[in-house]
Chains A and B, each alone.
Chain A
Amino acid sequence: MTDQEIVQKAYTALAQEFELDISQMNPETRLREDLGLDSLDYVDMVVVLEQAFGVKIGKDPELTSVRTLGDVHEFILNKKRALEKIQ
């Protein structure tokens, strides 16, 4: 899966879960301020991303610094790179 495919898959999963307009989603979009997500949504976002990518994220401390959709991409891509290193 290319990085772009990963980004698209993350957008699709988040748009479906939080009923967002995918055309309005870009890396600068802020999760709280622009999309209105709150702490409960953050918890559910992890479950949604785990289900979308089949990876375990759990209570990763790096999640606390996720503020924008760009941060979400970066987080997922870092996970992917970490997995590739292991494999």
Chain B
Amino acid sequence: MHLKRVVITGMGAVSPYGKGSELLFSMLFAGKSAVRHIESLGNIPGLGPRVAATVPDVGINEIPRKIRRSMSAMSSYAYLAALEAIEQAKLDNDIVQSGRLGIALGTTMGSPVNLEHFFRQYIASIGVEQVKSTLFFSIMSNSAAANLAQSLGVTGRVLSPSAACASGCQAIGLGYEAIAFGKQDYMLCGGTDEYHPLVSGTFDIMLAASTTFNDTPEQTPRPFDIRRDGVVCSEGAGLILLESFEAAQKRKATILAEIAGFATTCDSGNIASPCPESIATCIRAALDNAGISSSDVEYINAHATGTELGDMAESQAIASIFGDNVPVSSLKGHIGHTMAASGALESIAAVHMLNKKTILPTLNLQEIDPRCSGIFLPKETVAFNGSLIVKNSFGLGGTNCALILRRMQ
């Protein structure tokens, strides 16, 4: 079967730094942390974390009411990021609405903010009489994908994968496959999520949330560092416009990178604890899918969230395939864990690093945990002349994803 080549021609971001990919890149390259102290988290009994990386005002209220009324923050972020990606790709609205363009947009869940809103009303009155009709459209699991499709007038396939923290990466992979198999010519792909204390609480209950840097938020999370103490939850959206190489060539689009390969597998050994062998299997499958060998890869953008078990498992998996030759870094030291958006936002940043020929180190990595040794973890910026990188993303429930990105120039 002939598979089409798939390329990236547009990228859009709403990150804890604010709106826009350029802002994301400039803050990442400046080594700025987006993590801050959130005083109100102290009002929640039993919750340890007082840090998060939330999105500042990005002008959500400027979105027309008819579009915005069924959106929670996660859909609004996705919409703004999608507009940026479409604009960068210079894609005509005729194509967006032609049926040739589809959407694959992942979230970890429907809006937790509006879910709380619903149950506050429901429990107070034991009824639904005061619930507005539009609330459900922000709570349903396909809320972000559906809202994005409605707002843009998309008539192609609309997929809404939910694979916990791997959702965004998996969505890009599903978009890649949809184009590679000739099902769509264009796919808007990525992930989005909104912050709610429930998310921090989920990790805190599992003893996997950062709690010892509450008064020095810029020092956490600390992927691969010996003093790391867990995840810092954050929010945002990353959207990537994919299209077939032929379509991009035909309309003379600027190609930012190629999606050269993808794999997603499941670690069914434990619902919460990652296993190095399972991660390695996924990365190898992605390399096979791209038709490349491990020696071709020159950078790995890690999932590494700053948890003890996760960082160790990923380090061991990478070491087993690549040894200590290939630079590895995580961007979660900068922006925390943007959940479903992480795979997409970090892929966008990885494409930028690829084209800038510069690899960023992991922010807050000062002393490497010996249990994460055996891989090359740069502490400073690294010049990069390669063309192939691996982007890892893993999720609770056992979902593993790996993307292979290739520079085209």
Contact = CB atoms under 8 A, between A and B. Distances in A.
Interface of A: 18-19, 36, 40, 43-44, 47, 50-51, 56, 58
Nearest to B61: A19
Given A18-B65, A44-B132, 5 more contacts: A43-B133, A47-B130, A47-B132, A50-B129, A50-B130
B403 to A, nearest CB: 38
Nearest to B129: A58
A19 B65 contact: yes
A40 B65 CA distance: 13
A47 B131 contact: yes
B134 A36 contact: no
Chain B binding surface SS class: loop
B66 interface: yes
Most A-side CB within 10 Å, residue of B66, B70, B134:
B66
A40 B138 CA distance: 14
Contacts of B134: 40, 44
Interface of B: 65-66, 69-70, 129-134
A56 B129 CA distance: 9
Nearest to A57: B129
Contacts of B65: 18-19
Nearest to A58: B129
A51 B125 CA distance: 13
Contacts of B130: 47, 50-51
A43 B129 CA distance: 11
B111 to A, nearest CB: 17
B133 A40 contact: yes
A36 B132 contact: no
12 contacts: A36-B66, A40-B133, A40-B134, A43-B132, A43-B133, A44-B132, A44-B134, A47-B130, A47-B131, A50-B130, A51-B130, A56-B129
A40 B131 CA distance: 12
Contacts of A40: 69-70, 133-134
A56 B125 CA distance: 13
Nearest to A37: B66
Nearest to A44: B132
A58 B130 CA distance: 10
A44 B130 CA distance: 9
